[in-house]
Amino acid sequence: MGKAQKKTGKGRLDKYYKLAKEQGYRARSAFKLIQLNKKYSFLESARCCIDLCAAPGGWLQVASKYMPQNSVIVGVDLVPIKPIPRVVTFASDITTPQCRQLIRQELKDWRADVVLHDGAPNVGTAWIQDAYSQSELVLMSLKLAVEFLVKGGTFVTKVFRSADYNNLIWVFNQLFAKVEATKPPSSRNVSAEIFVVCREFLAPKHIDPKFLDPRHVFKDLAASVSGTDKGTSANNAQANVFQPEKKRRKRDGYDEGDYTLFKALPVSEFVRSSDPISALGTVSKMTFLTEEEKEWLKLDITTGDVKANCDDLKVLGKGDFKALLKWRLALREELGIDNKTKNTEDVTETVEVVEEVDEEEQIQEELERLKAEAAARAKRERRRANEIKTRTIQRMQQNMTAPLDIGLEQHDASLGGQDDFFDLGGAEKGLRKRGGLSKLGDRDNLESSDEGDASDEDEDESVLDSEEERARKVAGLEAEMDGMYEAYRDRLRERDAKFKVKESRQKNAEREEWHGIGGDAADDVDTESDEEEGGWDKMEAAKGENDDSSSDDSDSDDEEGPRPSLKRHRPDSTSTGRPSKRPKLVADLRAPQPTSQAAKLWFSQDLFAGVDDDIGDEEAMSAEEASGDEDSAEMDVDQDDQDDDFEIVKAAEDDDADMWDVEDEDEDQVKREKIKKHGLTTAEAVTLAQQLVNRQTTKTQLINDGFNRYSLNSREGLPQWFLDEESKHYKPNIPITKEAVAALRAKQRALDARPIKKVAEAKARKKFKAAQRLEKAMKKAEGVNATTDMSEREKAQQIEKVMRKGLSAGNKAKKEVKVVVAKGAHKGVKGRPRGVKGRYTMVDARMRKEVRAKKRVEKANKKRRRA
Ligand SMILES: C[S@@+](CC[C@H](N)C(=O)[O-])C[C@H]1O[C@@H](n2cnc3c(N)ncnc32)[C@H](O)[C@@H]1O
């Protein structure tokens, strides 16, 4: 569950999820009802509505919003529903009489205009079983609907496109004048759900109880579910043979590309087939057309019955099928296909034993044998495929991590016929021949023995078929390209300090990036979008944690799988010193090799999915199965992945409107502060902000625009060089306006004009001191004013003096000291030189140099003394 898309979050947290969050709905499914109501307008005129299976309450919220004031709205679910204004809710099972009573108590004499049903059983078993329960639930809801609906009322229900679909529609048609099935846009395409809107309830006086009885409505399916057959076509084929009395309908539709009912099969195929049962179960007729087949008609064993049976298989019973199988066995013996029975011809005693064996048993044995053979074959093939995968992985890993340093290309080229310069496969083979890859061989053998398979070198060679060879070459080339690109980047890093800075900035940007609205711009503008990013990451992380606890497989998914802010790590050059520019072909596999990042990336591709599991770790398999069960138990998270599209929008404990985790707030705070501190930093962001302020766009529009062709790009498995290129050019082109650029420039200019910190501090200090002086002066002035032994005039003079001093003290210009060099006319002058006014100081031309020299000597002497 949740593995097909891993619903890697991206698919799951879609536009409607975000809209639900934004508009305060508890579940994205709210939009389904909104869209259904938009099409059929049943809520606006309704005065009473019952919502069956209503938790967490998305539909109830919509009903309460669209229905007139003072309407009666009742919601029921197995789980309690958090209160919603104007809505009565209670917890009950809609399939029980107690639920019926509760609704009756609530409605009294009222009848409902609308009955809604969006129920989904808590799944966990096989799909066909789940679908059946869902259909049953629909029928139960219909039962309540017909009891409480007013004549002409509307019943809206969710149905799954299962085998029961037509039966349900038939029943609806008996009770409602208009029945329409529709899939609202918000219902995911991957979901099998469909909504049926039944209008104009006929309210018949008497309703045949069979209409509402699952045993009658889903009669055939119940039979097939209780039997051994779970609905697969292969099983169906077998069931057709062993229980031909019970005709099975094609409930699951026809096989891909096979839409005809009548099928003919050459009888030789039936005789030679390893799975005769399937042949008998699927074909209508077996033909004798070739010369060989016509010869068989002449044999004694081919009786008239056999011929007649071959003519129309659809009318045969169990005994006829047995007869055909018996005939097949006899014919195979005749033809020498079955060596086992042929050998028995030579041993008289054994022949006797064989003759004694009951027909029934013989067929049974044959069946057993065929089954065992098929199972063994499948197992062999699986193991073989696993081996191929494992070896491919090992080899590619080697190619990626180890330097190719022994001039193999020249060597192989010199042998002639080696066109491909990069043919690592050939080189490896050469090495293997020379024993250079003995370690690899050891490892291979080790693995083979682990799996209990006696595969040897020969088999190993046969496994390397041309396709694998080609795939390996391609992988080798790609790995080499990756290596070269890394080396190139390393060189850049060494040469260009700016590159490093750029790189780290880019990493930060990637970490910050939300792929919704579009990069930095969105990040800058919409703080709520930022919240979403936080929420997204948290949810992903939470999912990761869940997976961690439940499955090994999902562990790796978490590490390698796509993330909203996918960040690719480069191999740590510090740990390995300088990275080798050429990958080594031979590596010591005995020592545990750390998987390189490039290798991790490579192995995160679908091709390798499940390799680890397949290698035979049964524990991992069972853990995975267990996790599957656990997953399915998490109704609100995964159920809709499989069959229901219901998804609860995460809600905060206390506040419905604010639906993100409290933990996110810190992160959001940081982002908000960042924007507060630095403002909007890109022209795109400023443009979007201006559009928002000027009401040229809305937040919803922005979110909608965020779902563009760039937003859900998967970067999984793509080489780094490609991603680097893409990050430069393949991104949404958000328009920018002149005004935005001008605003940013103005801001930049203001920033440039700002004094540096020290100057600003000095200025502030000066200001502070001036204020202190002024305060002091004012105090003094007040003192002067308070004295009684001075005339008013004297006081005024004194105060003016004090204030002038206080104000001007800070502004005192430093008295200039004139420097007079003692050379020329001033050389040897004693006293004030001529023509110099004010303060002066005489300097010797050589004085500075001499003073410095003197200091140097003193310092040197000091050192010497200390030594
Ligand atoms: C898809 S959710 C409903 C979502 C709802 N329409 C909304 O918008 O919030 C399905 C609900 O069916 C409920 N359910 C399943 N079987 C039920 C039963 N027998 N009786 C009552 N509720 C049931 C589940 O508890 C689950 O909450």
Q: Do 792 and 836 fall within a single domain?
A: no
Q: Is the shortest distance between the CB of 521 and ligand 1 below 6 Å?
A: no
Q: Find the 53 Cα to ligand 1 centroid distance in Å.
A: 3
pLDDT at 560: 38
Instruction: Count H helices and E strands in the chain, helices first.
Output: 39, 11
Q: Do 19 and 85 fall within a single domain?
A: yes
Query: What is the per-residue pLDDT across 804-857, written as a single tens digit (0 to 9) for each?
Result: 887 776 566 667 888 888 888 888 777 888 888 888 888 877 777 788 889 999
Tokens of 14: 């879609």
Query: What is the per-residue pLDDT across 244-287, written as a single tens digit (0 to 9) for each?
Result: 545 444 444 444 445 456 788 888 888 888 778 777 777 888 88
| Closest ligand 1 atom, residue 26 Cα | 9
Domain assignment present for 36 = yes
Q: Which whole-number Å values give the CA distances from 722 to 261, 488, 513, 719, 727, in the listed order?
A: 50, 14, 19, 5, 9
Domain assignment present for 662 = no
Q: Is the shortest distance between the CB of 27 and ligand 1 below 6 Å?
A: yes
Report how far Cα 679 is from the mean position of its chain's Cα atoms: 32
Q: Do 823 and 802 fall within a single domain?
A: no
Q: ipTM value of the model?
A: 0.99
pLDDT at 650: 57
38 DSSP 8-state letter:
H
Q: Find the 38 Cα to ligand 1 centroid distance in Å.
A: 22
Which secondary structure element, helix H or strand E, spans residue 841, and what is its range?
strand 840-843
Q: Is the shortest distance between the CB of 81 and ligand 1 below 6 Å?
A: no
Q: Are 51 and 116 in contact (CB under 8 A)?
A: yes
Q: Find the 42 Cα to ligand 1 centroid distance in Å.
A: 21
Q: Which of 31, 34, 77 has most ligand 1 atoms within 8 Å of CB, for mutation?
A: 77
Q: Find the 51 Cα to ligand 1 centroid distance in Å.
A: 9
Q: Is the shortest distance between the CB of 191 and ligand 1 below 6 Å?
A: no
| Closest ligand 1 atom, residue 122 Cα | 15
Angle between helices 664-678 and 527-550 (to 10 degrees): 150
Q: Do 183 and 85 fall within a single domain?
A: yes
- Tell me the CATH number at 90: 3.40.50.150
Q: Do 102 and 180 fall within a single domain?
A: yes
Q: Do 792 and 834 fall within a single domain?
A: no
595 DSSP 8-state letter:
P
Which secondary structure element, helix H or strand E, spans residue 198, and what is its range?
strand 193-201
Residue whose structure tokens are 């930049």: 748
Q: Do 71 and 107 fall within a single domain?
A: yes
Q: Do 798 and 854 fall within a single domain?
A: no
Q: Is the shortest distance between the CB of 648 and ligand 1 below 6 Å?
A: no
Instruction: Give, using CA atoms, the residue closest to atom 19 of ligand 1.
Output: 93
In angstroms, the CA 64 to CA 158 distance is 20
Q: Is the shortest distance between the CB of 378 and ligand 1 below 6 Å?
A: no
Domain assignment present for 139 = yes
Least confident stretch, 133-137, 447-451, 633-637, 661-665: 633-637
Q: Which of 31, 37, 52, 53 has most ligand 1 atoms within 8 Å of CB, for mutation?
A: 53
Domain assignment present for 348 = no
Q: Find the 647 Cα to ligand 1 centroid distance in Å.
A: 11
Model confidence band, residue 492 (pLDDT cutoffs 50, 70, 90): confident
Instruction: Give, using CA atoms, the residue closest to atom 16 of ligand 1.
Output: 121
Indicate whether 430 pLDDT > 90: no
Indicate whether 583 pLDDT > 60: no
DSSP 128-189: HHHHHHHHHHHHHHHHHHHHHEEEEEEEEEEEESSTTHHHHHHHHHHHEEEEEEE--TTS-T
Domain assignment present for 600 = no
Domain assignment present for 414 = no
Domain assignment present for 454 = no
Q: Find the 136 Cα to ligand 1 centroid distance in Å.
A: 14
763 annotated active-site: no
Q: Are 93 and 101 in contact (CB under 8 A)?
A: no
Q: Which of 31, 78, 81 has most ligand 1 atoms within 8 Å of CB, for mutation?
A: 78
* Domain of residue 62, residue span: 15-217
Q: Are 534 and 664 in contact (CB under 8 A)?
A: yes
Give the chain's domain count: 3
Query: What is the per-residue pLDDT across 778-804, written as a single tens digit (0 to 9) for each?
Result: 998 998 888 888 888 888 988 988 888
Q: Are 592 and 412 in contact (CB under 8 A)?
A: no
Q: Is the shortest distance between the CB of 78 and ligand 1 below 6 Å?
A: yes
Q: Do 791 and 841 fall within a single domain?
A: no
Q: Is the shortest distance between the CB of 647 and ligand 1 below 6 Å?
A: no
Instruction: Give, using CA atoms, the residue closest to atom 7 of ligand 1.
Output: 58
pLDDT at 40: 94
Q: Is the shortest distance between the CB of 60 and ligand 1 below 6 Å?
A: no
**Which residues belong to the annotated binding site for S-adenosyl-L-methionine?**
57, 59, 77, 93, 118
In angstroms, the CA 792 to CA 789 distance is 10
pLDDT, mean of residues 61-79: 93
Instruction: Give, using CA atoms, the residue closest to atom 2 of ligand 1.
Output: 119
pLDDT at 9: 52
User: Which residue, of 186, 217, 248, is where some domain finishes?
Assistant: 217
Q: Are 307 and 315 in contact (CB under 8 A)?
A: no
Residues 6+ apart with CB under 8 A from 88: 72, 73, 74, 75, 106
Q: Which of 10, 158, 650, 671 is catalytic?
A: 158
Could you give the 3-state DSSP secondary structure of residue 701?
helix
Q: Is the shortest distance between the CB of 121 and ligand 1 below 6 Å?
A: yes
pLDDT at 240: 53
| Closest ligand 1 atom, residue 645 Cα | 1
Q: Find the 119 Cα to ligand 1 centroid distance in Å.
A: 4
Q: Is the shortest distance between the CB of 53 and ligand 1 below 6 Å?
A: yes
Q: Which letter, b or e, does each residue of 448-487 get, where b requires 16 or more Cβ atoms within 10 Å of its Cβ? A: beeeebebeeeebeebbeeebeeebbebbbbbbbbbebbe
pLDDT, mean of residues 648-665: 45
Indicate whether 369 pLDDT > 60: yes
Q: Is the shortest distance between the CB of 72 and ligand 1 below 6 Å?
A: no
Q: Which amino acid is at 13?
A: L
pLDDT at 202: 93
Order of strands across the sheet with 87-91? 87-91, 72-77, 48-52, 112-117, 149-160, 193-201, 176-182
CB atoms within 10 A of CB 567: 10
- Winning range, highest mean pLDDT, from 29-43, 121-135, 456-470, 691-705: 29-43
| Closest ligand 1 atom, residue 51 Cα | 6
Q: Do 835 and 801 fall within a single domain?
A: no
Q: What does the angle CA 94 – CA 99 – CA 100 come to, to the nearest 5 degrees? A: 100
Q: Do 140 and 62 fall within a single domain?
A: yes
Q: Find the 118 Cα to ligand 1 centroid distance in Å.
A: 6
Which secondary structure element, helix H or strand E, spans residue 532, and what is its range?
helix 527-550
CB atoms within 10 A of CB 361: 10
User: Which residue, of 202, 217, 232, is where some domain finishes?
Assistant: 217
Q: Do 151 and 190 fall within a single domain?
A: yes
**Which residues belong to the annotated binding site?**
57, 59, 77, 93, 118
Better pLDDT: 394 or 66: 66
Domain assignment present for 341 = no
Dihedral through CA 389, CA 392, CA 393, CA 399, nearest 10?
Answer: -170
User: Which residue, of 769, 789, 808, is where some domain finishes?
Assistant: 808
In angstroms, the CA 770 to CA 766 distance is 6
Indicate whether 426 pLDDT > 90: no
418 φ, ψ to 5°? Answer: -100, 90
Residue whose structure tokens are 């508009």: 23
| Closest ligand 1 atom, residue 646 Cα | 1
Instruction: Give, using CA atoms, the residue closest to atom 10 of ligand 1.
Output: 119
Q: Find the 117 Cα to ligand 1 centroid distance in Å.
A: 8
